[in-house]
Amino acid sequence: MRRRFKDLVDVPKLQELTDELYTATGIPSAIITMDGEMLTGSGWQRICTDFHRRHPDMEKDCIESDLRIRKRLDDGEPFVIYRCPRGLVDASSPVMIDGEHVANVFAGQLFTEPPDAKVEQAFREQAREFGLDEEEYIKAFREIPVLPEDRFRPALSFLAKFAQLVASIGLTRMRELQAAESLRTSEERFRHLFEFLPIGAFIVDPSSFRILLFNEAAPKSLGYAGAAFSRMSVPDLEAVHDIELVRGNMARVRDGERMAFETRFRAADGSLRDVWVQATGFEMEGQALNLTLFTDITDRKRLEAQLRQSQKLEAIGQLAGGVAHDFNNILAATLMQIGLLKEQPHLDRETQLALDELEAGATRAAGLTRQLLMFSRRSVLDMKTVDLNAAIENVLKMIRRLIGEHIDVEFRQSGETPLVRIDVAMMEQVLMNLAVNARDAMAVGGHLVIATDGIEIGRQEAEARPGWRAGRYACLAVSDTGCGMDADTLGRVFEPFFTTKEAGRGTGLGLATVHGIVAQHDGWVTAESAVGEGTTFRVFIPAAAGEAAEALPKAVTASEGRGSETILLVEDDTALRLSAAKALRSLGYTVIECDDGPHAIEEWRRHRDRIDLLFTDVIMPGGMTGLELARLFTGEKPVVKVIVSSGYSADLSQQGFAALAGFTYLPKPYLLGKLGETVRRCLVGQAAGGTTA
């Protein structure tokens, strides 16, 4: 037992009872703990207190008597009668609490028969033996009560029951104290867990809705100060459910139902936060209370929405990439045939105009497939380390012509803008698409600002913004003073085929293409807008690490592209192969046609010495790709030139532009003039080294 016996009983009350027992029976008694502390004493005789217990040698005998009594009680006897070495009769009964011997109830220091002269003489001899005041000692001897044994033994039965009663009182009190301590421990544990929960938690009075107690995370997660939160009630937080529904929920929880639901809480700044709430009822100190736990799931829901959007864009992108591949082959053949027809002499004006319209339509279709490829991130990137400001300056004049004189264009370039590694043509496409989007939002005129800057994004900021990454970035911002967008439109702005324009005025791919191109550059794009307040798009591109800027590509000049060299043309699409061969022959070249890799190898073995250029598709039947053919042929004949052409290639998308090192890449579809120009430049050595024509 960890508690002291005297802390378990009312000592003054017990003293009062033993005093009354002594008055009624004349039996002296005492309650003594196991460590010898006397808690009560009634009628205790002077001969013991003033003589026996004060003389060292006599006290040893008293202690020995106590030990003998204790041993017999420890052995299970309900009470013990014992005659001490000095001739007095003592009795004792144990006080046992929860199996532990904690104290004894003593009665005695008496004679069971009147002492005669012989007994008195024995006491006188003791006085002399131990050097006591004989007369005072005998006087104390004569005060010792006499209680016949037939009266003393029934009193001992009462003594045993009294000891049991004292033990019962002590046990009851001990259990009360243990229960109180257990409750305190439980409450402390609850408070500790409650306070250090990583999610918000508060206790509510279901009758008044008042928040009675809350942990640190509750106000902190919503931006409130603790003092302000302590004055709030549930309706002050709840932003979705009305007061009647709140009251009903409180009653259901109070009646024992556990609830879990999603709602919104008002934050200190007035914003609404999505929260997942769990509530249960409990009772404390007789009062029914509700415990509410809540988790802020705003960011999680935003991430889930972004994931769904990303998965949707990825699925559409895969479809778009596959469609674009097939379309490019068809369009390449169509444009080639139109180009050949336009080269025919003596065309009348009506036919010429019709061919121009056909070529313009096919070119628009080619532009659409190019946007599909950009959106689906299946385009092959020609990456260069460039000055972003210089790249924008390069297309600024074109942008001004494109959007019209009714819109002022301002370019704010920062000297802090880092170099970036980009595909210049694709990044120009990003800027053009953003500019066109701004133009359409400013139908009656306005102001377009293109701005650049360098920005350092820290780890904490990146973690707080889904999709962001820490590091050094170049930021391209395009802002307009147009009509702006509402929240719903803003949330769908990068979806493919989503447009707010009337039918026939937009494909809905412009901003989706921007998103795809920027993502392919390991960057991201954000949009900020409000109705009537314009829109700002920000494009973040990783800074190039420790590289010097490369020269920007020069504008392509027109060229007839005629020649007399021999070209090995490898293309599995029959219509495109026939059209390309016819076009190349019309330009004076000798063309050897093949429909797959094995056939190309046969023709290479036969005509290797006179073949000057390999013009090959990338993916073909027969188990060999165009890149494998190119590496085989250049390994055998290093001077042979190579043009690789594709409208879409998962192979090139995975390997990147490095796979084209030493070769010229011509994307499908292409016009007759572009074909002739690319072939001519490659043959004279102006388009090698992994260059996109």
The CATH number for 330's domain is: 1.10.287
Same domain as 482, residue 426: yes
**Per the domain annotation, does 601 fall within a domain?**
yes
Which residues, in sequence order, are bridge partners of residue 80? 92
pLDDT tens, 114-165? 888 898 898 899 899 899 999 998 999 898 888 887 877 777 788 888 888 8
**Per the domain annotation, does 634 fall within a domain?**
yes
Same domain as 644, residue 581: yes
pLDDT tens, 23-46? 888 888 888 888 778 889 888 888
Same domain as 525, residue 411: yes
Same domain as 217, residue 276: yes
pLDDT band of 567, cuts 50, 70, 90: very high
**Per the domain annotation, does 186 fall within a domain?**
no
The CB-based long-range contact list for 259-264 (8 Å cut-off, 24+ gap) reads 262/297, 263/238, 263/239, 264/238, 264/239, 264/240
Same domain as 524, residue 419: yes
Cβ–Cβ < 8 Å for 19, 26: no
pLDDT value at residue 559: 44
**Per the domain annotation, does 380 fall within a domain?**
no
* DSSP per-residue string spanning 29-50: EEEEETTS-EEEEES--HIIII
Domain tally, the chain:
5
pLDDT tops 80 at residue 242:
no
In the listed set 375, 408, 430, which residue is the last one of a domain according to the structure?
A: 375
d(CA 196, CA 211): 18
**Per the domain annotation, does 583 fall within a domain?**
yes
Same domain as 216, residue 127: no
Same domain as 119, residue 36: yes
Cα–Cα distances (Å) from 472 to 33, 414, 546, in that order, read 79, 15, 12
Exposed, middle or buried by CB within 10 Å (0-12, 13-18, 19+), for 662?
Answer: middle
Domain residues for the domain of 371 are 302-375
Nearest C-alpha neighbor of 214 from the set 233, 194, 193: 194
**Per the domain annotation, does 111 fall within a domain?**
yes
**Per the domain annotation, does 382 fall within a domain?**
no
d(CA 514, CA 302): 21
Same domain as 250, residue 363: no
**Per the domain annotation, does 582 fall within a domain?**
yes
pLDDT tops 70 at residue 349:
yes
In the listed set 269, 296, 323, which residue is the last one of a domain according to the structure?
A: 296
Kindly report the CATH number assigned to the domain that includes residue 265.
3.30.450.20
d(CA 51, CA 130): 10
Nearest C-alpha neighbor of 510 from the set 495, 492, 525, 489: 495
pLDDT value at residue 548: 67
Q: What is the pTM of this model?
A: 0.45
Kindly report the CATH number assigned to the domain that includes residue 462.
3.30.565.10
**At a CB cut-off of 8 Å and minimum separation 6, what does 227 contact?**
none
pLDDT tens, 180-237? 888 788 777 777 777 878 899 999 998 888 999 899 899 999 999 989 999 999 889 8
- Tokens 């003389």 belong to residue: 55
Same domain as 257, residue 230: yes
Per-residue tokens: 449 = 């600002």
pLDDT tens, 310-321? 676 667 666 666
**Between 387 and 151, residue with greater pLDDT:** 387
Same domain as 345, residue 394: no
pLDDT value at residue 381: 63
In the listed set 266, 296, 326, which residue is the last one of a domain according to the structure?
A: 296
Same domain as 411, residue 464: yes
Same domain as 399, residue 371: no
d(CA 89, CA 47): 13
3-state DSSP call for residue 112?
Answer: coil
Cβ–Cβ < 8 Å for 290, 254: yes
pLDDT value at residue 178: 84
